[in-house]
């Protein structure tokens, strides 16, 4: 292993002598022997670059996702990404930048993040947004912590219709700290049970955390949820699908105090789950309680415009254990992808993408119902919906993958026959008709 250390043997010996040990292994004597690895790592022999490329190509070819027509969502969506996004993203000025600590040499990056914040705030209907989060799940967990800082209450209420993966991340963040999480059930219509929410609020809560469209693709009544939260002196946190905001009203305009979500649909590939970029937006009143970085626009004495990190006392590198959050970067490159994508589409183009998702999803849903599927919920949806199919969802999934489709996600929580479908602007009428036919055939085979 020593040949990968960028110091020659003579220099390493001198360094060890200076420290006062004989060999590198002596530096690890404080680690108990029973937990120290003995022997070599279980790895194959080293390969040449050509051999390594060949091996990775073989492994990549095992994956079939790029060959399948995608009708799956549940938090990751197959949208078209203009070539200009990657072209701008991989420019050396952005691609090699790590974090904009030195404003005087990072003006381009800082301005791009400032524009990103502005776009996200407008999209969410709020007054401010931060420079980005790790992903939608961690942004939701950070919002839960933020709501507790604002209210001083150490309990949050989470909608049962929240993405289960997001719920798990919230628990990872909050449970070790002794914070309390209670679930608000959803009703037969798939929407938040507001009566149950009001009852749970009696014990005091920092926030109600609600997803809209929710995990089942249904549009929640944010205004009424906001009223319920305010009646209990709590905040309303809304997890939003950014594409849906092209056809439905922004959560901030309906009473949401904090709006979070994942920017993956905005110019970021599905990428087997990452890297993504979360967003978090709120009001000016809660700005100092917001985690992560904030980029501000200012002027010097001569009137020249400049961009800087502002309110830096929030940062972990300044306040350490007293920091607002332990997030120590902000996925700036992926946030830049969001900004470039939104700039390229423009407001009219963005709305058109959202409209196409809406109409195509309703076309597919009607076709699948006609082919024998049954609706589970009747509430309005945007581009994602759950159906019951005549057969086991996992067996149908395998058959549809073999037929060249990545079908909806089986949702055991709704029954063994339930599947969650999603449609984006990429899907054509021919693809949807072919998928409806394949589903009909597969259902007939598993009955």
Please check whether residue 396 lies inside any domain of the structure: yes
Model confidence band, residue 8 (pLDDT cutoffs 50, 70, 90): confident
Q: Per the structure, how many domains does the chain have?
A: 2
Claim to verify: residue 329 and residue 371 sit in the same structural domain: no
pLDDT of residue 97: 62
Pairing of strands 235-239, 258-262: parallel
Pairwise CA distance, residues 106 & 123, whole Å: 26
> Going by C-beta distance under 8 Å and a sequence separation of 6 or more, which residues neighbour residue 233?
151
Please check whether residue 305 lies inside any domain of the structure: yes
pLDDT of residue 2: 46
Pairwise CA distance, residues 143 & 238, whole Å: 9
Taking residues 180-200, report their average pLDDT: 96
Token digits for 142?
């950070």
Claim to verify: residue 204 and residue 138 sit in the same structural domain: yes
Claim to verify: residue 314 and residue 352 sit in the same structural domain: no
Token digits for 321?
């254990």
Domain end residue (candidates: 320, 341, 362): 341
Q: Which residue has the tokens 């009428």?
A: 429
pLDDT of residue 99: 63
Token digits for 408?
């909806």
Please check whether residue 102 lies inside any domain of the structure: yes
pLDDT digits (tens, 9 = 90+) for 355-412: 999 999 999 999 999 999 999 999 999 999 999 999 899 999 999 999 999 999 999 9
Res 5 pLDDT > 90: no
- Residue 166: which H helix or E strand, with range? helix 164-174
Please check whether residue 256 lies inside any domain of the structure: yes
Claim to verify: residue 240 and residue 269 sit in the same structural domain: yes
Res 317 pLDDT > 60: no
End-to-end CA distance of the chain: 58
Residue (of 268, 423, 282, 281) closest to 342 by Cα position? 268
Claim to verify: residue 324 and residue 365 sit in the same structural domain: no
> Going by C-beta distance under 8 Å and a sequence separation of 6 or more, which residues neighbour residue 272?
65
pLDDT digits (tens, 9 = 90+) for 131-184: 999 999 999 999 999 999 999 999 999 999 999 999 999 999 999 999 999 999
> Going by C-beta distance under 8 Å and a sequence separation of 6 or more, which residues neighbour residue 365?
375, 381, 385, 387, 421
Please check whether residue 54 lies inside any domain of the structure: no
Token digits for 377?
């919920």
Residue 312 domain boundaries: 83-341
Pairwise CA distance, residues 381 & 201, whole Å: 27
Residue 267 near residue 338, CB atoms below 8 Å: yes
Claim to verify: residue 270 and residue 354 sit in the same structural domain: no
Claim to verify: residue 256 and residue 124 sit in the same structural domain: yes
Model confidence band, residue 236 (pLDDT cutoffs 50, 70, 90): very high
Query: What are the DSSP calls for 233-266, one per residue?
Result: T-EEEEE--GGGGGTS--GGGGT-SEEEEE-TTT
Claim to verify: residue 167 and residue 218 sit in the same structural domain: yes
Please check whether residue 4 lies inside any domain of the structure: no
CATH number of the domain bearing residue 218:
3.40.640.10
Residue 99 dihedral angles phi and psi, to the nearest 5°: -150, 140
Res 196 pLDDT > 90: yes
Claim to verify: residue 382 and residue 364 sit in the same structural domain: yes
Q: Is 94 helix (H, G, I), strand (E, B) or coil?
A: helix
Claim to verify: residue 293 and residue 418 sit in the same structural domain: no
Query: In 10 A of CB 391, how many CB atoms?
Result: 20
Is 321 exposed, middle or buried (CB count within 10 Å of its CB: 0-12, 13-18, 19+)?
exposed
Residue (of 80, 128, 381, 420) closest to 248 by Cα position? 381
Please check whether residue 39 lies inside any domain of the structure: no
Greater pLDDT, 442 or 359: 359
Residue 180 dihedral angles phi and psi, to the nearest 5°: -100, 135
Domain end residue (candidates: 280, 310, 341): 341
Claim to verify: residue 110 and residue 249 sit in the same structural domain: yes
Query: In 10 A of CB 411, how many CB atoms?
Result: 21
111 Ramachandran zone, left/alpha/beta (phi>0; psi -120 to 50): alpha
Please check whether residue 40 lies inside any domain of the structure: no
Assessment of whether the complete model's pTM goes beyond 0.85: yes
Domain end residue (candidates: 315, 341, 367): 341
Is 404 exposed, middle or buried (CB count within 10 Å of its CB: 0-12, 13-18, 19+)?
middle
User: Residues of the chain with pLDDT > 90: what percent?
Assistant: 74
CATH number of the domain bearing residue 441:
3.90.1150.10
CA 71 to chain centre: 19
Query: In 10 A of CB 237, how many CB atoms?
Result: 32
Q: Is 214 helix (H, G, I), strand (E, B) or coil?
A: coil
Claim to verify: residue 406 and residue 298 sit in the same structural domain: no
CA 216 to chain centre: 16
Beta strands in 95-167 (DSSP E): 128-129, 155-159
Pairwise CA distance, residues 290 & 120, whole Å: 15
Largest Cα span, the chain: 79
């Amino acid at each position: 292993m020593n040949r990968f250390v960028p110091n020659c043997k003579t220099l390493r010996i001198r360094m060890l002598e200076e420290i006062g040990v004989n060999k590198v292994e002596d530096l690890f004597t404080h680690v108990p022997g029973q937990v120290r690895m003995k022997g070599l790592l279980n790895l194959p022999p080293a390969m040449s670059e050509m051999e390594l490329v060949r091996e990775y190509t073989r492994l990549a070819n095992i994956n079939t996702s790029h060959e399948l027509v995608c009708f799956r969502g549940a938090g990751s969506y197959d949208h078209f990404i203009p070539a200009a996004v990657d072209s701008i993203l991989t420019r050396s000025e952005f691609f090699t930048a790590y974090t904009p600590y030195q404003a005087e040499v990072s003006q381009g990056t800082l301005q791009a993040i400032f524009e990103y914040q502005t776009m996200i705030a407008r999209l969410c209907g709020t007054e401010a947004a931060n420079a980005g989060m790790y992903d939608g799940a961690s942004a939701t967990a950070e919002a839960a912590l933020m709501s507790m800082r604002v209210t001083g209450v150490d309990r949050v209420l989470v909608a049962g219709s929240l993405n289960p993966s997001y719920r798990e991340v919230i628990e990872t963040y909050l449970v070790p700290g002794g914070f309390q999480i209670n679930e608000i059930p959803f009703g037969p219509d798939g929407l938040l049970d507001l009566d149950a929410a009001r009852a749970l609020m009696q014990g005091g809560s920092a926030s109600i955390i609600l997803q809209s469209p929710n995990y089942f693709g249904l549009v929640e009544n944010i205004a009424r949820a906001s009223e319920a939260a305010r009646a209990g002196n709590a905040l309303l946190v809304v997890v939003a699908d950014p594409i849906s905001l092209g056809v439905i009203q922004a959560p901030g305009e309906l009473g949401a105090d904090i709006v979070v979500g994942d920017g993956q649909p905005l110019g970021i590939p599905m990428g087997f789950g990452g890297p993504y970029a979360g967003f978090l937006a709120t009001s000016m009143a809660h700005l100092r309680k917001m985690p992560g970085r904030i980029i501000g626009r200012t002027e010097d004495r001569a009137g020249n415009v400049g961009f800087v990190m502002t309110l830096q006392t929030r940062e972990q590198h300044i306040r350490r254990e007293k920091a607002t959050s332990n997030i120590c970067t902000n996925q700036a490159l992926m946030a830049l992808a969001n900004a470039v994508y939104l700039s390229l589409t423009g407001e009219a183009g963005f709305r058109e993408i959202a409209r196409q998702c809406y109409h195509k999803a309703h076309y597919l849903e009607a076709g699948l119902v006609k082919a024998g599927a049954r609706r589970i919920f009747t509430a309005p949806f945007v581009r994602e919906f759950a159906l019951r199919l005549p057969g086991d969802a996992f067996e149908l999934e395998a058959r549809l993958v073999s037929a060249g489709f990545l079908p909806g996600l089986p949702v055991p929580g709704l029954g063994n026959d339930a599947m969650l479908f999603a449609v984006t602007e990429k899907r054509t009428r021919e693809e949807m008709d072919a998928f409806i036919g394949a589903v009909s055939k597969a259902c007939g085979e598993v009955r």
